[in-house]
Amino acid sequence: MMASYEDEPMETSPRELTQNPLRKIWMPYKNGLPEKHIPQRKVCMTNCPTLIVMVGLPARGKTYISKKLTRYLNWIGVPTKEFNVGQYRRECLKIYKNFEFFRPDNEEGLTIRRQCALTALNDVREYLGVEGGQVAVFDATNTTRERRNTIMKFAEQNEYKVFFVESVCEDPNIIAENIVQVKLGSPDYIDCNTEEAIEDFMKRIKCYENSYQSLDEVLDRALSYIKIMDVGRRYLVNRVQDHIQSRIVYYLMNIHITPRSIYLCRHGESDLNMKGRIGGDSGLSSRGKEFAQCLNHFIQEQNIKDLKVWTSQMKRTIQTAEALSMPYEQWKALNEIDAGVCEDMTYEEIQDHYPQEFALRDQDKYRYRYPKGESYEDLVQRLEPVIMELERQENVLVVCHQAVMRCLLAYFLDKSADELPYLKCPLHSVLKLTPVAYGCKVESIFLNVEAVNTHRDKPENVNISRLAKEALFTVPAHQ
């Protein structure tokens, strides 16, 4: 062994590494205890919290964007919360009379609205400071430079980065559709009929128009923002500061509001399913093949325009898609969660060979990584490009797997990391997701072909010290 080329004094020896048993992450430790070193890198994060500030006249999609963006960021692991000032106003005012509240010469209205904005900002500070939030979305019109300056001063004092998202749109059709979809059902208009509501809302918009100062190329050149024009036909992006802002811009540039439906289902029942085994790459059972035929029938009946079909690269999803007699695309990213050393095992065998792993998984099913395998958390990262492309697309059928489908469903239905691994995604059922208002309508269609149940609930006892039967109590029946 060669000597060092320079004489160096003895340095402190590098720290020993220990592998966290749940997530299988190697971390340095001292005196037998893991050191609080670098946090697991989930997404390349910004160092300081980010305040996203919406800008735009009423009915320009600000709340739609706020909610969608919040849902996306939470799903990829960035703790995010939206703060809708209209909500604060409703809590303050209790009863909404009419548009006159928003008149620029209504002193009392102005005072209340200002107060609500400040209260919301206070809650933002609490969320980003004490509650561990990373991104806050401040959803209000913020149409004057004065209001935006106030917000920026607030952000500066608290050391938040600010990123503005402005939505500009003058297409009367879009505005009308917006009002129909989300305003008519608003608590503000509960006691009005449709015509009254629309008329009042149009006057409300008018109240803002005169004082509206759009983000300006020159005056606002030092700000970081994206200006979305005509629902995504055109974008102006100024001074993206960091990774998270870059991801936000990419996301906002990929979403659209064209009506469409997303169909999610698993492959047909497989031979391994019937034996109660996880993972592997087996083919369909006879019932699974029957399901594939029924799926074909179902899809044809739905008469979907320009349907894209996606599968994983595992035999069982491809076999299922083959029955559709339609072109399909195979995505490796849609492969089932890799169970590592537990691949092809039954739960009973896992309890037998790896009782500790089995218990750890029940303790934190989202973050638990199989030895030499993956976690749900890993899955989400793997699936992010799939979600991005689903956002770009229109009608799509995704034929995938249990854990994968849970992750995708959690994204569309805004389910937390704790709920995600226990979402019910039974075999031979198709979920039809249709975006509506601020969320997603879900229709569940069971295609009437029996299949084993593969859903294992969280057992009561998740301690490593538990008995085998306590661990296996919730295992579904199988051959």
What is the residue-wise DSSP string for 193-252?
-HHHHHHHHHHHHHHHHTT-----TTTTTTS-EEEEETTTTEEEEE---SHHHHHHHHHH
Helix 62-75 vs helix 376-392: crossing angle, to nearest 10: 150
> Binding segment for its own copies among 17-25, 134-142, 419-427, 465-473 (CB under 8 A)?
17-25
Tokens 């995504």 belong to which residue? 232
Residue of 139, 188, 200, 290 that binds its own copies (CB under 8 A)? 290
User: Is residue 401 marked as binding?
Assistant: no
Which 200-259 residues touch its own copies, going by CB under 8 A? 221, 233-240, 243, 246, 249-250, 253-254
Tell me if 325 contacts its own copies by CB under 8 A: yes
Q: Which residues ranging from 93 to 132 are in contact with its own copies (CB under 8 A)?
A: none
Q: Pick one of 211, 313, 416, 463: the residue that binds its own copies (CB under 8 A).
A: 313
User: Do 378 and 23 touch, CB atoms closer than 8 A?
Assistant: no
Span from 123-131, 206-214, 324-332, 401-409 in contact with its own copies (CB under 8 A): 324-332
Among 131, 146, 259, 297, binds its own copies (CB under 8 A): 297
267 is catalytic: yes
The interface with its own copies within residues 351-390 (CB under 8 A) comprises 372, 378, 381, 389
Task: Classify each residue of 448-462 as buried b or exposed e, where b means 16 or more C-beta atoms within 10 Å of its C-beta.
Answer: ebebbebebeebeeb
166 labelled ligand-binding: no
Q: Is the dihedral of CA 308, 388, 414, 231 positive or negative?
A: negative
From candidates 136, 278, 449, 471, binder to its own copies by CB under 8 A: 449
Q: 269 labelled as ligand-binding?
A: yes
348 as an active site residue: the answer is no
CA 7 to chain centre: 54
Give whichever of 124 and 386 is closer to its own copies, judged by the CB atom.
386
Please give the structure tokens belonging to residue 93.
């005012």
Q: Give me the phi and psi of 411, to 5 degrees please.
A: -65, -50
Q: Per the annotation, does 271 bind a ligand?
A: yes
Task: Choose the catalytic residue: 82, 166, 267, 384.
Answer: 267
- Position among 9, 105, 327, 356 found at the interface with its own copies (CB under 8 A): 327
Query: By rule CB under 8 A, what count of residues binds its own copies?
Result: 71
- Report the alpha-carbon angle 395-401-406, nearest 5: 80
Binding-site entries for substrate: 266-273, 316
